[in-house]
Amino acid sequence: MLNLKEADATKTRFYQEVLQIGRQEGQQEGQQEALQQEVALILRLLTRWCGEISIEQPNQVRSLPLKTLETLGEALLDIQGITDLENWLQANT
């Protein structure tokens, strides 16, 4: 008979699978949160650099893939105003 008081549930395949699923979900949530924070930072910097930006420009930035978003973060050093931002977004979206 199985002695449940002494059994180590953490050794079961079910427990290990559930644990793996939980880790994957946590990792995905963490990546999504980091992406949202990066977008928010870039939008704050753009607003500070360029002044008032249009309503559609934040939406364009939010829709950028991660690699393009990182490129925009680096391009901020070269963007001097709203026209530069518009040109950059047009060329990279």
Output the pLDDT for position 23. Answer: 85
> Beta-carbon neighbour count of residue 1 at 10 Å?
3
Kindly report the average pLDDT of the chain as a whole number: 85
**Segment 46-77, tens digit of pLDDT:** 988 888 888 899 999 999 988 999 999 999 98
Least reliable range by pLDDT among 3-7, 26-30, 52-56: 3-7
pTM confidence score? 0.67
**For the stretch 73-90, what's the b/e string if a residue is b when 16 or more beta carbons lie within 10 angstroms of its beta carbon?**
eebbeebeebeebbebbe
* Mean pLDDT, residues 22-34 taken together: 83
Output the pLDDT for position 88. Answer: 93
